[in-house]
Amino acid sequence: MPLNDISERLAAATRAAGRPEDAVALIAVSKVQPEERVLGVLEQGHRLFGENRVQEAQDRWSPLLPRYPDVALHLIGPLQTNKARAAVEMAAAIHSLDRPKLATALARLAQERGQSPDLFVQVNTGAEPQKAGVLPEDTDAFIGDCRGMDLPVVGLMCIPPAEEDPAPHFAMLAEIAARNGLDGLSMGMSGDFETAVAHGATHVRVGSAIFGARDHG
């Protein structure tokens, strides 16, 4: 099964990097996948899943969570401020904190609820105009602002430019995290998660390599 293959490759990459066995969490990215594939992975005992849209995540997981109450959902896609409440009610972690307005909304919700998902600040390491994320040179200040709002920032996330070697982007993300005292590094997808592990990833987000190709999205 693909899940076992990926788990084994992840374990080998973690060992090769000289890191502890449980150093890297495998987020199975189930967005846009047919339900039977997701059920297959659930039946194999996997419990950590990533979705990139709040509405889609609700539609898929609301009926499944009563049967699999120990599932943890991580929101990895762009988050509109008006979806922030639904996001914090559902997600154990949000990997796409990328602007002050969203930080303010999440801080207000955290105050009101007395709890917050773990938060990763998304960094646009390639400074791509069409891509979400804080620019590298603005990241230290943004992390400081988030901490000033008592937000639980646990790490950084990036999606390197599709056509480039991802390694320098992973290295940059690790460097920004280290100088800000952050342990979490959400980086690496189906095509490059082993490289990400070598650069210190703590969370890899793997979709198509586990579930098969997506029809769209």
Ligand X SMILES: *Cc1c(COP(=O)(O)O)cnc(C)c1O
Residues of the shown chain interacting with ligand X in the complex, contacts defined by CB under 6 A:
29, 31, 52, 76-77, 159, 189-190, 205-209
User: Toward ligand X, which CB reaches closer, 156 or 206?
Assistant: 206
Query: From residue 149, how far is each of 106, 111, 180 by CA, in Å?
Result: 9, 10, 16
User: Is 155 in contact with 120 (CB distance < 8 Å)?
Assistant: yes
| DSSP H or E run through 6 | helix 2-16
Q: Which residues pair with 74 in a beta bridge?
A: 50, 93
CA 196 to chain centre: 13
In angstroms, what is the minimal distance from the CB of 208 to ligand X?
4
- The secondary structure element, H or E, covering residue 94 is strand 93-97
Closest separation in Å from C-beta 189 to ligand X: 4
> Which lies closer to ligand X via its Cβ, residue 79 or residue 103?
79
Name which of 28 and 42 has its Cβ closer to ligand X.
Answer: 28
67 vs 213 by CB, closer to ligand X:
213
Q: Please, which residue, 150 or 164, has the CB nearer to ligand X?
A: 164
188 Cα distance to chain centroid: 10
Q: Which residue of this chain has its Cβ atom nearest to ligand X in the complex?
A: 207
Residues whose CB falls within 8 Å of the CB of residue 87, separated by 6 or more in sequence, listed in order: 54, 75, 79, 94, 117
- Rounded to the nearest whole angstrom, what is the least distance from the CB of residue 129 to ligand X in the complex? 18
Kindly state the smallest distance separating residue 186's Cβ from ligand X, in Å: 8
- Nearest approach in angstroms of CB 203 to ligand X is 10
